[in-house]
Structure 1
């Protein structure tokens, strides 16, 4: 992206913008500056679970990095995930967004196999970043609303991958 890290940061830390970009997001609520609940519907082939998601921001370093942990529950399906994002300044100007997530998925969605899950995941990630870029380029504005959980709260979150 051509914007600076400081210009992009509000977009990646505004739950309203995140909800617009997250494929299958039916609802996203900022419960506190470090806790988000959401409802996400994800379809993989004939399996289309609707997950109730609880996420906690475990680390923030403005305007460089953000980490979170999330769990999702759906009938006969669940996941645990850790995700991190880094905004890296490019030498010639602009910013590269580096993103990584690790998830442990269980339930009927897994029966479709790793190849199907990977394909769907790649498509969803591309859509998310494409939608985010469109919002940034439209200069719709965003407000940074996320903060890291207090250290003792972050340690209590049990997501081990």
Structure 2
């Protein structure tokens, strides 16, 4: 895809003749290799985050529903729209879409996706926002009395905020004096 020039001149003309030809190749949307997406973004709570997806496509997506941003909430995908904290912007050439989230809250640290289509096909890109901070301390630590016997004990707790990261716990014990 691009603009090509053919230049010609010989002994019969004093001025060089130039003709331009623009070639556009029809293609379905795909991620741009010149501006690859950053699929994992690390931020702190109350900070802002921007997810960017740049594509190559012709014709460019121009329908209102050509780009659909979604967020995973409790295992379900919810479509996002512009509001006071979510701002969805499209570049002038319709080949880049940004999702900006202001004042990140605990439930914003999750999975996101953007689906893009034109009349030739579609593509989808996944993103995740993770916390760039230490996880909170577990709360409500207790021993389940019904699950205590001579060789084992069952402990339960409520994990704190972990920013979508895998969380590991170390349980220590000390034998009490008789």
Same fold? TM cut 0.5: no
What TM-score do you get using the length of structure 1 for normalisation? 0.24
TM-score, L = length of structure 2: 0.22
Larger relative strand fraction: 2
Q: Which structure's residues are more often helix, by fraction?
A: 1
